[in-house]
A and B are shown apart, each in its own frame.
Chain A
Amino acid sequence: MLDGVLNFDLLDKCSKCGACFDVCPSCLNIEGYDPRAVIKDILAGQSGRWASSIHVWQCLECHQCLEMCYQHYGFENAMTAMRLYATAKGMHPPQVKRGWDMFVKTGRLGEPAAAGRKKLGLPEPGESGKEEFLKLLKLYREAKKGSQAQ
């Protein structure tokens, strides 16, 4: 089910290496966090069991593993694939849902703080690209629908 998102050949080598474990801040500091177990399950076709796990959201996307990896692949690709999978199943954290909703409505994750900016004597912020973004989003969704229908 994660075919096309993940390169299973690289992931297979990855499962036999694990060099990045010792540079991963979450592996070193968060109890129970171990992408090696996730990768093992992905390769065994058992990735579904991780969809609801908080651990897939504990990858900090710091790219330390990517830099350490001799394949330039690292744990992060497996963890990102699992987050996309969890999201597709609607199992992503409420805060991610709220962030996404705000993004697709406004094109931003927060509006410039008008009062605070005025107090500091900052100039008016650049105009938002909201309208153009929403138009682009509509085009994107139509194209996506079209390619899924094919």
Chain B
Amino acid sequence: MKEFAVFWGCTIQARFPFLEKSVRTVMEGMGLPYRDLSGFTCCPEKSLVNNVDHGLWLLTGARNVALAEAEGLNIVSPCTGCVSNLSTVKSELNADPRKKGEVNALLNGVGRRFEGRAGLSHLVPFFHDEVGAQRIRSAMKKDFKGMRVAVHYGCHMMRPSHALKNDDPLEPKKFDNLVRTLGAESVDHSTKLMCCGQGLDRVDQHDTALHMARLKLRELKNRAVDAMVLCCPSCFLQFDNNQHLMEKEGERFGVPVFYFTDLMGLAMGYTADELGLGLHRVDAGPFLKKWEEVSSRPSSRTAFEEEMRAVTFAMDRL
């Protein structure tokens, strides 16, 4: 596998270092050749930057891509927003040579050049396409058979599709495939592809943000899932922090929220502590407890096979 640069983005490093820990633990455990690059800035974020100055949004994104291109590296990001923004900038500039020329004229002033060639992937499609099920399975010590997990893709993992081109934008499959590779059931639900709504918290509309979070959490509670899994710090903020805030006010959901690498890491044999799960606001305990119970129980297949062996043995003696 070719070496790649990780684009952490602002939110993970500033607010959720334990998510960084989880991602690093899994990537190191699997021996993936990643590199930390110096000099990245904010991707930049769409709602706070693109809504004010589209030109600066393009220029900043192009500079970030140029940093990886100068090292001959592709970018992989555990943040859907970052990868969607960088990809949209790349797609817009590659489709418009005049604009690309203007951007490069400015970048030239700081000794950079945007080629628009670096591959940009989100961690989930990267695990699906580049790491692959076989390598994932061989790294696993334990699976999640018997556990019911709700996958939350997060809009910007695959949209806008003209820029990301990595999965079906309205019926994605890759995250589900990975969760099934880990042995869990991916529980279908009607709000699966619904936007988390965290963007509303960034524009001073906290109550509406909570309203959006509640719609999904209520459904997941009714579907009796053991946890939800996502891979975006913004969605994580919405479902972990905001769920906790609502629970403090007396609404009970009890849906633990995991990053993709949390589940992956647990399956690889890392402990909850090593993955920073104790720093999540919503208690992951009930999930871990059930997992322990389920995995210590002999599976129905094993029980059946044992019974068959006993019967065959008895028949042999006749």
Contact = CB atoms under 8 A, between A and B. Distances in A.
Contact of B55 (A72, A111, A122, A140): A140
B195 interface: yes
Interface stretch (B90-98, B159-167, B303-311): B159-167
A115 to B, nearest CB: 9
Interface stretch (A9-17, A36-44, A45-53, A96-104): A96-104
B48 A63 contact: no
A100 B48 contact: yes
A61 B47 contact: yes
A88 B10 CA distance: 26
A13 to B, nearest CB: 19
Interface of A: 25, 29-30, 54, 57-58, 60-64, 66-68, 72, 80, 83-84, 87, 92-96, 99-100, 103, 107-113, 116-117, 120-123, 125-130, 132-133, 135-137, 139-140, 143-144
B146 interface: no
B59 A120 contact: no
Nearest to B199: A60
Given A62-B159, A103-B49, 6 more contacts: A63-B155, A67-B161, A100-B52, A109-B48, A125-B13, A144-B55
B195 A25 contact: yes
B11 A96 contact: no
A64 B41 contact: no
Range for the number of chain B residues in contact with chain A: 35 or more
Contact of A100 (B46, B49, B54): B49
A87 B203 CA distance: 12
Contact of A60 (B38, B200, B215): B200
B1 interface: no
A123 B36 contact: yes
A41 B276 CA distance: 50
Most A CB within 10 A of own CB, among B40, B51, B195, B215:
B51
List the 8 shortest-distance A-B pairs measured between CB atoms, nearest first: A110-B14, A99-B48, A107-B41, A62-B195, A129-B39, A63-B159, A127-B38, A62-B155
Contacts of A29: 211-212, 215
Contacts of A54: 205
A25 B170 CA distance: 13
Contacts of A117: 13, 17, 20
Interface in B140-191: 155-156, 159-162, 169-170
